[in-house]
Amino acid sequence: MIVNGIITGSIIVLGATGLTLTYGILRFANFAHGDLMTLGAYAALTLAGMNLPFGVVFVIAMAFTAAAGILLDTVLYRPLRKRGSIVLLISSIGAALLLRNLVLIIWGPRMRYYSQDIQIAYMMPFGIRIKPDELLIIGIAAALIVLVHIFLKKTRMGKAMRATADNAELAQIAGIDTDRVVMWTWGIGCALAAAAGILLGMEVQLRPQMGWDILLPLFAAVILGGIGRPYGAMAGGIIIGLSQEISTAFISTAYKPAVSFAVLILVLLIRPSGIFGGEGRWS
Amino acid sequence: MVIGGLEGYLIVFLVMSGIFAILTLGLNLQWGITGLFNIGIAGFFAVGAYTSAIITTVQSPDHLGGYGMPFITGILGAGALSGMIAWLVGIPTLRLKGDYLAIATIGIAETIRLIFTNESWLSNGTRGITGIPGPLREVLPHYYYNLFYLLITAAFAGLAFLFIERALHSPWGRVLRTIREDEMMAAATGKDVFHFKMQCLVTGAVIMGVAGGLYAHFIGFISPEVFKPMQFTFLIWVMLIVGGAGNNKGAVLGAVAVWGLWTGTEFLIDALELSTDYQTKAGALRIITISIALELILLLRPEGLLGETKKTFD
């Protein structure tokens, strides 16, 4: 159960980190994030069908989704940016439905799998069973998170992104090209979304609805960690993943999405700025 | 007795338009006037539909119920429960920025759908509730029953319209609009912003719940499948934005126009007799069309067909 929680958690961590970056820097809740995950997962399905090696599939799918995100921003979001975050939110819901139904038309409504092989679980100490795929999921998620960490801490662009998330006007005055920051944010946020989508597809299966169904846990993780805080989102993702899985000991597994909702409401009641949120700048 | 199929269809269309108009008016109160971002409309509608169904149906081994109460009690119960849920959602979210309410309403809608899908003792799970009575359904022939129901729906829609129209021009409505434009200012003039928002959220949800009840009694059958949360909610949003947020006439116009487009294309797809696979894809194409329409309106005509009639000071 704990292992399952960590697997689900690491998928949520990847999705939530991307979501919190766009949320913090662009200052609106992008409801199309889940469906960008779906797009990335399906792009990988097509690439995998071309018999490309796994690593290549992964990188191309991430780049493709990043490009799709930047396109979405240029066409739909940028012209609306001055009209406030809620108008952007409405637009993103439209974009979400657009993406999901495009996926449905291109790849069909049925469930798809990357591989039909049945994997034999490894026996780990303490009687833990884990499948090779699941080890891979945790490994990839951890590696990407380390990469994001290095990017945010060490590179100029990473620092510029953090500065913009903290205070956009101040960052602009300090000579940061905020347009480029916005582009990079979309690129990285959507690349992470694609990675999360692929891992989700490996763990369960591919459905056009898959990204939308995980959006609520993603938002719960983002708010739990404090909006715009990548490290908060990482912690939030693991907490949400674990609480969803542990809840299955007490209530029906069908209620997993409702568990993240309950956690979310609890956070909003007790500490709306998130557990690492400081003085609640966003409220 | 044969009565023109087209006319019969028109009546059904008008009843459904009326129900959607009530929903859109409820959303107009919340979003158009006050700026509350509710994307859990499907949830409030579903609560209304199930509540009214459970209150009015006769005893059944499949789900909770057996109260056999009259139609109007069902509708009142529908509005009351829906309003109570809105109140619960409002407590943690209405003091915060708008996005939190958005995320919380989508959460509650999803939770409501999960409950109705999984708690069979309550709602008969995915099989849904059948045999929901309608007023005078046993007495009137089918055609006249639909006509009678159209009158009922029109009465409720008119009531909602007049109520919100009056509210708009009352001091209460002015406070709500001030909250939308500048929450700080509303607070600075001594208005308790949280309570005004709460009243608006709850009132809007009551209206949506009533619409749910009206739907259940008209169709006579409900199941969780009817309330695909996002598609349904999105449709209402498109109706309001197309019609013109903030304008009650726009809300009604948008509801009728978009519902016409929506059912019209469904009709077309049915008429083409495609294979199931293509039917799903054609359905997806409909949603894509509606999404594009929304994006275009947002980009090119943000005020909708009929914008809000702005008065500087009334």
Q: What is the pLDDT of residues B69-87, one digit of tens each?
A: 888 899 999 999 999 999 9
The reported pLDDT for the residue numbered A253 is: 82
Q: By C-alpha distance, which of A3, A250, A263 is closest to A125?
A: A3
Residue B153: the pLDDT is 95
> CA-CA distance, A28 to A76, in Å (whole number)?
13
Report the alpha-carbon distance of residue A1 to residue A242 in Å, rounded: 8
Spatial CA neighbour of A203 closest among A71, A115, A105: A115
Three-state DSSP state, A122: strand
Position B120 scores a pLDDT of 83
Confidence check: pLDDT of A282 > 50: no
pLDDT at B206 over 90: yes
- Ramachandran assignment for A84, one of left (phi > 0), alpha (psi -120 to 50 degrees), beta (any other): left
Q: How far apart are CA B218 and CA A5, in angstroms?
A: 45
Q: Quick one: pLDDT band at residue A281, thresholds 50, 70, 90?
A: very low
Neighbouring CB atoms inside 10 A of A226's CB total 27
Domain residue spans of chain A: 2-270
Domain ranges of chain B: 7-228
* % of residues, chain B, pLDDT over 90: 35
pLDDT of residue B113 exceeding 70, the answer is yes
Evaluate whether the domain defined by A2-270 bears CATH number 3.10.450: no
The region of weakest confidence among A242-251, B175-184, B304-313 is B304-313
ipTM: 0.82
Residue identified by tokens 């884990």 is A130
Instruction: Give the pLDDT confidence score for residue A125 in this predicted structure.
Output: 67
Distances (CA, A) of A96 to A51, B43, B90, B112: 29, 19, 25, 22
Q: At CB < 8 Å, which residues of chain A contact B?
A: 28-29, 76, 79-80, 83, 85-87, 89-91, 93-98, 101-102, 104-105, 108-109, 212, 216, 219, 223, 252, 254-255, 257-258, 261, 264-265, 268-269, 272, 282-283
- For chain A, the average pLDDT equals 86
pLDDT at B313 over 50: no
User: Cβ contacts of residue B155 below 8 Å, gap of 6+?
Assistant: none
Query: How high is the pLDDT of residue B312?
Result: 46
Task: Name the more confident of A278 and B119.
Answer: B119
Per-residue pLDDT tens digits for A17-26: 999 999 888 8
CA nearest to A166, candidates A219, A109, A228: A228
Residues of B with CB under 8 A from a CB of A: 35, 37, 39, 91-93, 95-100, 102-104, 106-108, 110-111, 114, 117-118, 230-231, 234, 237, 241, 277, 280-281, 284-285, 287-288, 290-292, 294-295, 298-299, 302
Chains A, B: CB contacts within 8 A come to: 121
Tokens of B310: 């702005």
Residue B191: exposed, middle, or buried by beta-carbon count in 10 A (0-12, 13-18, 19+)? middle
Instruction: For B1-28, write each residue's pLDDT tens digit.
Output: 445 577 888 899 999 999 999 999 999 9
Helix crossing, A156-166 with A132-154: angle to 10°?
80
Interface contact flag, B291 A252, Cβ < 8 Å: no
